[in-house]
Amino acid sequence: MKPLITFVLLSLCLLPIIFVLVNSRSFSIDYKNNCFRKDGKPFQFISGSIHYSRIPREYWKDRLLKMYMTGLNAIQVYVPWNFHETVRGVFNFAGDRDLEYFLNLANQIGLLVILRPGPYICAEWEMVTVTSSCYTNITAAFIRQRRFEPKGPLVNSEFYTGWLDHWGDKHASVDTVKVSKMLGEMLSMGASVNMYMFEGGTNFGYWNGADHDTRFRSVVTSYDYNAPLSEAGDPTDKLLAIRDVIKNVRAYIQSLGSIHIFLNVFERHLICSPRMHLFDQNFTKNSIVVKYYFH
Give Cα 170 to chain centroid, integer Å.
24
- The set of residues, in sequence order, having a beta carbon less than 8 Å from that of 278 and lying 6+ positions away, is none
- Per-residue pLDDT at 10: 43
End-to-end CA distance of the chain: give it in Å, rounded: 84
Q: pTM of the prediction?
A: 0.71
Of 196, 137, 138, nearest to 162 by C-alpha is 196
> What are the mean pLDDT values of the chain's consecutive 10-residue runs (295 residues total)?
47 45 78 95 96 96 96 94 85 95 97 87 55 51 83 93 92 95 94 96 89 84 94 94 91 63 56 61 51 38
Provide the angle, in degrees to the nearest 10, between the axes of the packed helices 176-188 and 237-247: 20
- Per-residue pLDDT at 291: 42
Cis amide prior to 119 (ω within 30 degrees)? yes
- Per-residue pLDDT at 268: 58
Cα(135)–Cα(12) distance, integer angstroms: 58
Pinpoint the alpha helices (H) of 85-188: 99-109, 140-148, 176-188
Whether 99 and 52 have beta carbons less than 8 Å apart is answered as yes
Superfamily name with CATH number, domain 44-265: Glycosidases (3.20.20.80)
Whether 114 and 47 have beta carbons less than 8 Å apart is answered as yes
The residues spanned by each domain of the chain are 44-265
- Per-residue pLDDT at 212: 76
- Per-residue pLDDT at 271: 62
| Count of Cβ atoms closer than 10 Å to residue 126 Cβ | 16
- Per-residue pLDDT at 7: 41
Q: Across the strands, what pairs with 199?
A: 50, 229
- The set of residues, in sequence order, having a beta carbon less than 8 Å from that of 75 and lying 6+ positions away, is 47, 48, 49, 50, 64, 67, 106, 111, 112, 113, 114, 198
